[in-house]
Structure 1
Amino acid sequence: MTINAVRACLLSRAIGLLVLPVLLSAPMAVAQESLRVGVYHNPPKLVADDDQRLSGIMGELLIAMAEEEQWELIPFTCEFQECLRALELGELDLLPDVAWTSERAELFAYHQEPVMYSWSQLYQGEGEPIEALFDLEDKRVAVVSGSVQERYLRNVIQRFDIDVQWVGVASFAEGFLAVQQGQADVAASNHLFGVWRADEYGLHETSVIFQPMRLFYLGAPNIDPQILARIDAHLVRWKENPESIYFEIMSAWNGQRQAPRATHFHWGWWALALFALLAAVALGVWAIRRRGLSQKPSPEFLEMQSRTHYLAYYDALTGLPNRRFLIDSLRAAIDRDARVVSFSAVLVIDLDNFSRINDTQGHDSGDCLLVSVAEQLRQRLADQGTVARLSSDEFAVLISELGAEQHSAMQAAERAAGQVLEAVSQLRNGQAVPVGASIGIALFNGHDPTTDSVLQQADIALQQAKRLGGNRFAFFNGEMQASVLERANLEADLHHALARAELSLHYQVQVDHQGATVGVEALLRWQHPRRGWVAPDIFVPLAEETGLIVPIGHWVLASACQLLGQWAQSPTHAGLSVSVNVSAVQFQQTDFVRDLEGLLAQHQAPPGRLVLEVTESLLMREPVRIRNVMLRLRSQGVRFALDDFGTGFSSLSYLKRLPLDELKIDQSFIRDLLNDKADAAIVDTTILLAVSLGLTVVAEGVETQAQFDWLKGHGCYRYQGYLFGRPVPLDALFAPPEVTR
């Protein structure tokens, strides 16, 4: 698509919204002190008693919050799916006991602190211990029909070819009863129900743990964010005190289980569950081997040996060889090529934007896509070489014995890459979203390469293909290696730049239509001791990729707050604002709000003079959570500006839902607005749109008097650009050259 076509598309979208000014400025619904709470029967976490009152762990915790907050809870009994539908329609305000998923996060509002953690587990009575999934061979497994436990277990049992007899039941209690009465050998259950009722049925937990999850009070899309913030505040405070009502309720419902000594629940619980699952598998294999050492190997044991080999060398989801298999095959190819003087090739394939499919469609849809890709690669390339799955959405193809002539070997590898691109492009996931792939190709001929170096070269070429826009292939060459080394050296230097005081802030003034300075934007600069000035568009993305943007961003915010605190004491500067760009990585930090509030208080900076500039791409990431963070800071007085407006792809409908104060028109539209009618129309429409939303418009990149006059005549009254001043250090900020207007 051409630039003009893109601009025309943006213009069409913007104009379409302008015909709905009433809708755009409509106030959002705000939850009242009375909260309508959905209740579905899922003991011990959530229970509706005979009088339709809330009970269970999460019910009683919510009642305790309501007593302190003076909320009136109005419970409504419904089936789980009915509750979700009512919540989506705004007929309910809260629904307790809901696991976090990316799909729900797009529709509903989550608070941040999980109420509790949960997982599923297998329970058994007397008999031979169930220590691993393989021990379910020829066992009767009771599982709730249609449950997440059934779906998970059926999938994994099928992948490992374990013969299981399924016993369908209607509830966890019925499953436990089936084991107690000898109608089943094991039962699948949520572990909280197991803790609560297993002893009553004479059952005990096995080592098989699966599906860890975080549980929340799910909020309606239009719920007042302050309600969710208060829920978080109670949970954090209670969890810090082992004597709190939180642990009293947990202990009461958990029976013999005592309150944890730890003061916080962390992601370590997830790691613990995963470790237990892996340990159970390892223990099962160990037990089988131990039995085999004490007697002559049985046919069953030799079945198990084959299965262990399969698990070691093949991918459970797709059935393709895994990384270990590929590395062994690659090592053999290198040795063979050294003897026969022949080229081979490795193609590393990565699906473009696969994470988007997982986030928007769900992991089941993503898994189906991976299986389809694996099947396509197997059909088209298995007769040419080894097709393997390396990780997540990354595959590889090893093609050996391509001959001694490099050019013909490259042509053969190129044809294989073309087959991959064609095969993947024909696949579409469940909602007809196009699928593409990026491919990195490395040739080798046995002259002192190693498996690590070959795979590294292919990966470097893959990154090059992605940088070129994706859905293409690239061959490794020496220039790429040099580029990678250069990037690695720059990253190493960036790790020390803050400590060595190489980073600094320059400030660019923002002026109003009368030319008076109304604020400044803080811009990050890096003076490298050997390279000189490093461009921000080079080192800022690097800082985001490596996570260094978190300490660097904290330093920038601290500097801005310190400056605002100093200016607050000066009559001539007290009215100025400071704008700071905030990275998506910073917004993802759980302590971002707390840290910023601390900086404002430490430096006695007026929050209303701090403007955080965010991008459209940031707003598209976890929009509900981002909005809640913005609202928390907005309640303190902090202002927000949408930076580079018109260059992203977010829905303009977000503008009416977010607490924005400013809209910054990207300089790419300002540059040619006097010569390009499409740019002029986009800028004019954006100004009108912002006015209808009550937002201040800031034009970036204003460099000429003619641009200034046009913008002023079309209703834009705040500007930033070289016409008014270049970014300069703080000590030179208020001594710019005179500008005639």
Structure 2
Amino acid sequence: MYLFNLLPAAWRLRVPRTLLALCALALLTAPTLAREVRVGVYQNEPKIFMGADGQPSGILGDLLVAMARLEGWTLKPVPCEWAACLDALQAGNIDLMPDLALSEQRLQIFDVHKIPSLLSWSQLYKHSGVPISSMLDLKGKRVAVLAGSVQQAYLQNLLSSFAVQAELVPVQSLEEAFKLTAAHQVDAAATNRFFGDRRAASYQLDATPILFQPAQLFYATAKGRNADLLVAIDRHLGQWQSQADSEYFTVLKRWIEAPPQFSVPAYLWWSLGALALLLALALAGSALLRRQVADKTRHLRASEDRLATILNSVDAYIYIKDMELRYQYANRKVCELFDRPLAQVVGSTDSEFFDATTVERLRINDKRVIDNGERVEADEVSRSLDGSREQTYLSIKLPLRQPDGSIYALCGISTDITEHKRSEDAIHQLAFYDPLTLLPNRRFLMERLQQTLKANERQQQCGALLFIDVDNFKDLNDTLGHAMGDELLRQMAVRLSTCTRAEDTLARQGSDEFVLLLCDLSPDLDAALEQTRHVAQKILQHIAEPYLLETRHYQSTVSIGIAMFGDTPTSRDELFKQADLAMYRAKAEGRNALCFFNPAMQAQVTARTAIEADLHQALARSEFVLYYQPQVNIDGQQFGVEALVRWQHPQRGLVPPLEFIPIAESTGLILPLGRWILSTACRQLVAWAASPEQAHWSIAVNVSARQFRQSDFVQTVEQVLRDTGANPQRLELELTESLLVDDVEVVIARMSALKALGVRFSLDDFGTGYSSLSMLKRLPLDQLKIDRSFVRDLRHDPQDANIVKAIVTLGFAMNLQVIAEGVETAEQRDALVNLGCTHFQGYLFGRPAPAPA
């Protein structure tokens, strides 16, 4: 629709529509065959495995089955091991492979869709008797990993970065990996978190804190094959992931179970209990049995040595602080963290090792234990004294008590979960933020808008939703490339952020569209409108300032549609629809503008929808008719006509072309309508050929850019001429200069092919479009048509007269006929004759009328 709006108004009155209906009917009546899709299926429950019904099952299997049902595909599962599946996909023996994590190597041989089908990460699982709490514990261990997987290469690099020597044992399936681990043939198994969380309990395996490789998962095809499958998958994922009640989230809920909570191993509690007990016994023995102090001291030291050996072997930070929060004990991990021997740690406080902010946070938790006797479990972020290192710990702190119940110290166990937190943050970033601009994505925005609407119902506050669409963004991508387009969007995101408050939400919704949610505006609607207008005008001003794209200076604008809320209840979807309508109204009003939604817009859309529904039936009911407007020469002799389509609606009467032509263009109905116009005009040529007075007449038929760009357009014209028997030399196709924007070589080739048949060409609305002299001399044209905008003020505007004179001179120099349209008065005709124009069309010579008239 919007490409059509770029065309001159006069052309829109004459765009043919009938070709499209015949094509649509042919497509509707043609038999369809179910598409057979061969799908590689390997056992990776719950993501993908072979179901009992012989169809793919699991998360990715169920999603694919749902897509196949909607697309009419017939899925043919091909069972295979992981590596064999990839080989079969590359060889073309299967069409589609689920559960592919991307790597540079795989992108060389496989194609994937754009929207990730699933977000995942990898995790190590072990037998309960194997102590593995960090990467360092993998030294000398054997880890089962899926052969040829991205996990294998990633884990190998991770081990190398920690300088840990471990053996990676390749297996053919994740089930095999868990079986080997349960049988103690390997120490641990690396799997994705879906399979691990679902199957670990059945093998009596525990999850370790070692998480790595957050990944996006895709369906893949062989390079250059089955692109239609990927397009369909992207379409369904895009629809489902934006709807909380869709098939996508239903499948996730069915297969994903809550991840297990991290817990401190039981033997640590026994160790800590033993430590506390032995320390208490040592103190009691010292008081009651002074005479046996030497013997008891020896036994106590032996016990402490054994305890120290146990606690120093644990991959956790274990310590004891007294009532003044001074360290009284620290195991090996604590000493390594502080880079001090135990003797220098004992008696020290946190202020000697951490910055002031960390010390205060730790003191608050410690005082809860010391003063209140609480057991505290919390995530603690610690930053070193110089600020160079920041780590996150899961800390469990509990009080140590005397026999009388009084507290004399606290014991703490802290586990480093820094990498785990980073993985969680990475997964959250992938799920809720746009990777290009780092702004919140549509999913984040939809949740925030829903929360805001509920809050506004209680607080009676006004708010606004602003749709911000970049003007002519496609032109930038086509001329400077997508890299420049991405850089422009990044810079725009920064500028837009400067126009918002902390409580507002700025998100990137699509390719070139941003959405701004303004919250907590004035409860008075008029005041809220003024606040919103001020923000929108500020955005227009900031965005319009020049950008520096590498070495180029570039200017861009945006169109803003605004929907207010708060005065009356409204739904989230309705608000989006209103803002979208307002944005398109801003586009229609010339771009670089803002527009508020109002009910009149909705009424216009409703009317358009009704016309669109009727258009689909109009061709079948033969409601279209062709009118013809005479074309005459300087002597007043008629030499031809221009065919103009009209719609005789059964209820509304004669519908103006401006009301239905743009809708037919945007919906694709212009194709069957255009074919009908061409066929009807050619049959009229045959009828006139039998009359001596009209046999020499030609008929000019307008061809839309969308029609001409159809790959079979030349064959369509040739078929119509053959079916009707019309003389091709009496058929003139009128093209507009908008055709010359893209694929000029294709345009010239098709014009030349039709020219070889004898068809003539006229360039309509000349002087208002994109053609250049160098382009004009390459086109096989017969006629230039002077646009009515130059004819209307010809006698009063010297500039228009100069333009007409230049066009006439150019036509004469290039041996082209020149005809002026929109001639309504004798004065206009005389002025055109004085400027050298000899052919005319307009109300002065006749209005459009049916053929018998």
- 1:474 counterpart = 2:595: yes
Please show how residues 72-87 of structure 1 align to structure 2 within 5 Å.
Answer: none
Alpha-carbon distance in 1 for matches of 2:675, 2:588:
29
Task: Report how far residue 493 of structure 1 moved.
Answer: 2.5
Spell out, residue by residue over 1:363-416, the C-alpha distance to the aligned partner (whole angstroms, 9 max, x if none): 222122112212221233152500011111111100111121111111111111
- 1:670 counterpart = 2:791: yes
Task: Give the structure 2 partner of residue 437 of structure 1.
Answer: 558
What amino acid is the match of 2:713? F
Task: Give the structure 1 partner of residue 381 of structure 2.
Answer: none
Task: Report how far residue 578 of structure 1 moved.
Answer: 0.6
Please show how residues 713-732 of structure 1 align to structure 2 within 5 Å.
Answer: 713-732=834-853
Please show how residues 293-332 of structure 1 align to structure 2 within 5 Å.
Answer: 306-332=425-451
Where 1:432 maps in the other structure, the secondary structure is strand
- 1:352 counterpart = 2:451: no
What amino acid is the match of 1:310? Q
Task: Report how far residue 599 of structure 1 moved.
Answer: 0.7
Where 2:844 maps in the other structure, the secondary structure is coil
Task: Report how far residue 310 of structure 1 moved.
Answer: 3.0
- 1:509 counterpart = 2:469: no
Where 1:650 maps in the other structure, the secondary structure is coil
Spell out, residue by residue over 1:579-635, the C-alpha distance to the aligned partner (whole angstroms, 9 max, x if none): 011111212322222222111110011212111111112221332222222222222
What amino acid is the match of 2:643? A
1:423 aligned residue (518, 529, 542): 542
Please show how residues 489-504 of structure 1 align to structure 2 within 5 Å.
Answer: 489-504=610-625
Please show how residues 150-165 of structure 1 align to structure 2 within 5 Å.
Answer: none
Identity of aligned residues (%): 42
Task: Give the structure 1 partner of residue 704 of structure 2.
Answer: 583
Q: How many corresponding residue pairs?
A: 512
2:751 aligned residue (615, 630, 643): 630
Please show how residues 193-208 of structure 1 align to structure 2 within 5 Å.
Answer: none
Greater C-alpha Rg: 2
- 1:487 counterpart = 2:608: yes
Please show how residues 213-612 of structure 1 align to structure 2 within 5 Å.
Answer: 268=228, 271=231, 306-428=425-547, 430=549, 431-445=552-566, 447-612=568-733
Contact 2:464–2:562 (8 Å) recurs in 1: yes
TM-score scaled by structure 2?
0.54
Spell out, residue by residue over 1:194-251, the C-alpha distance to the aligned partner (whole angstroms, 9 max, x if none): xxxxxxxxxxxx997889998xxxxxxxxxxxxxxxxxxxxxxxxxxxxxxxxxxxxx
Alpha-carbon distance in 2 for matches of 1:438, 1:277:
28
Task: Give the structure 1 partner of residue 77 of structure 2.
Answer: none
Residues 127 and 539 (structure 1), Cα distance of their counterparts in 2 relative to 1, 3 Å cut? closer
Residues 316 and 132 (structure 1), Cα distance of their counterparts in 2 relative to 1, 3 Å cut? farther
Task: Report how far residue 292 of structure 1 moved.
Answer: 8.8
Residues 156 and 376 (structure 1), Cα distance of their counterparts in 2 relative to 1, 3 Å cut? farther
Residues 212 and 360 (structure 1), Cα distance of their counterparts in 2 relative to 1, 3 Å cut? farther
Contact 2:821–2:841 (8 Å) recurs in 1: yes
Residues 718 and 497 (structure 1), Cα distance of their counterparts in 2 relative to 1, 3 Å cut? same
Where 1:319 maps in the other structure, the secondary structure is coil
Alpha-carbon distance in 2 for matches of 1:622, 1:519:
31
Task: Give the structure 1 partner of residue 771 of structure 2.
Answer: 650
Spell out, residue by residue over 1:330-352, the C-alpha distance to the aligned partner (whole angstroms, 9 max, x if none): 11111111101110111111111
TM-score scaled by structure 1?
0.62
Contact 1:207–1:276 (8 Å) recurs in 2: no
Alpha-carbon distance in 2 for matches of 1:318, 1:212:
31
1:683 aligned residue (791, 804, 807): 804
Alpha-carbon distance in 2 for matches of 1:419, 1:212:
49
Task: Report how far residue 303 of structure 1 moved.
Answer: 5.5
1:701 aligned residue (795, 798, 822): 822
Alpha-carbon distance in 2 for matches of 1:210, 1:693:
55
Alpha-carbon distance in 2 for matches of 1:516, 1:701:
17
What amino acid is the match of 1:673? L
Where 2:845 maps in the other structure, the secondary structure is coil
Deviates more, 1:345-354 or 1:456-465: 456-465
Residues 429 and 366 (structure 1), Cα distance of their counterparts in 2 relative to 1, 3 Å cut? farther
Where 2:555 maps in the other structure, the secondary structure is coil
What amino acid is the match of 2:835? H
Where 1:729 maps in the other structure, the secondary structure is coil
Alpha-carbon distance in 1 for matches of 2:222, 2:436:
19
What amino acid is the match of 2:231? A
Alpha-carbon distance in 1 for matches of 2:227, 2:692:
49
Alpha-carbon distance in 2 for matches of 1:468, 1:303:
47
Contact 1:212–1:270 (8 Å) recurs in 2: no
Residues 360 and 709 (structure 1), Cα distance of their counterparts in 2 relative to 1, 3 Å cut? same
Task: Report how far residue 126 of structure 1 moved.
Answer: 9.9
What amino acid is the match of 1:670? V
Structure 2, unpaired ranges of 5+: 1-81, 88-96, 123-147, 156-215, 242-246, 264-416
Residues 433 and 695 (structure 1), Cα distance of their counterparts in 2 relative to 1, 3 Å cut? farther
Task: Give the structure 2 partner of residue 170 of structure 1.
Answer: none
Residues 690 and 210 (structure 1), Cα distance of their counterparts in 2 relative to 1, 3 Å cut? farther
Contact 1:702–1:719 (8 Å) recurs in 2: yes
| Cα RMSD for the two superposed structures | 4.2
Alpha-carbon distance in 2 for matches of 1:412, 1:207:
44
Alpha-carbon distance in 2 for matches of 1:274, 1:445:
35
Alpha-carbon distance in 2 for matches of 1:266, 1:633:
34
Contact 2:643–2:700 (8 Å) recurs in 1: yes
Alpha-carbon distance in 2 for matches of 1:293, 1:128:
31
Task: Report how far residue 428 of structure 1 moved.
Answer: 3.1
